[in-house]
Amino acid sequence: MSSLLQIEKLNFSYGDLKVLWDVDLTVNQGEIVTVVGSNGAGKSTTLKNVSRLVRASSGKLVFDGQDLHALESHQVVERGIIQVPEGRRIFSEMTVVENLRMGSFVKSTRPDREKNMERVFTLFPRLAERRDQLGGTMSGGEQQMLAIARGLMGNPRLMLLDEPSLGLSPLFVKNIFDIIKEINRQGVTILLVEQNVLQSLRISHRAYVLETGRVVLTGKGEELLRDDRIKKAYLGA
């Protein structure tokens, strides 16, 4: 398997507060890789570094053989790394269709716009029903669907999903994880950040456990599910 994203010895601080310590993480082509950990462990910060919303003080960030350090956020997106941010962050005063159009703002993805729109409407029939509704007027679950659909509009090679199950009803949570699996099956590599350890480990090929900014454990998804430390700390068993 060839590695698509390689993070090595990533260090990052918000001002005086150091949040990432020598983080090493690899995502191979075709995988679902999950980063689990509690609040404030540095999961989102890791994703933000990949998306260049924040800039690390040191460390290696390589995507498909290319160094990401010199790139701006929008250039990272042009290379096929698409983040679905925490809290959904859909454009609340824009319609569903307008949100989706923004997902294919990058010029090279515009020719596929109609095709991709059909594809996401098949994946999320609910969005098709609400195509002209303003994003902000939809329920949390629908907004999460829209956020993921919007990400798919940009032909992602690597999709970064930040807490997609946060704040959703249990029924919806199951639904979201099924969808992530389906997207992966269709060929999109996925780096997932989650607090829902059980569900996310179940669908992951590999996973990393982040604690106070350090990788403390890594392994295959199902292995980690059986790991005593994980059971104690995250699964309440």
Catalog residues that contact other proteins under the rule CB under 8 A: 51, 53, 72-74, 77-78, 82-83, 85, 89-94, 98, 101-103, 105-106, 110, 134, 150, 154
Nearer to other proteins, 45 or 51 (CB): 51
Residue with tokens 């010895």: 9
Write down the least CB distance from residue 53 to other proteins, Å. Answer: 6
Nearer to other proteins, 45 or 199 (CB): 45
Write down the least CB distance from residue 121 to other proteins, Å. Answer: 19
Angle between helices 113-123 and 140-152 (to 10 degrees): 140
CA 12 to CA 197: how far, in whole Å? 24
Please enumerate in sequence order all residues whose Cβ is within 8 A of that of 141, keeping only pairs 6 or more positions apart, or say none: 168, 169, 172, 175, 176
Q: Tell me the helices (H) and strands (E) count for the chain, helix number first.
A: 10, 10
Nearer to other proteins, 53 or 217 (CB): 53
Write down the least CB distance from residue 55 to other proteins, Å. Answer: 13
- Quick one: CA torsion of 13, 16, 22, 26, rounded to 10 degrees? -20
Write down the least CB distance from residue 76 to other proteins, Å. Answer: 8
What's the token pair of residue 185? 């099956």
Q: Looking at the chain, how many residues does it have?
A: 237
Nearer to other proteins, 21 or 105 (CB): 105
Write down the least CB distance from residue 89 to other proteins, Å. Answer: 4
- First CA to last CA across the chain, in angstroms? 34
Residue 123 has phi, psi (to 5 degrees) of: -70, -35
Nearer to other proteins, 188 or 201 (CB): 188
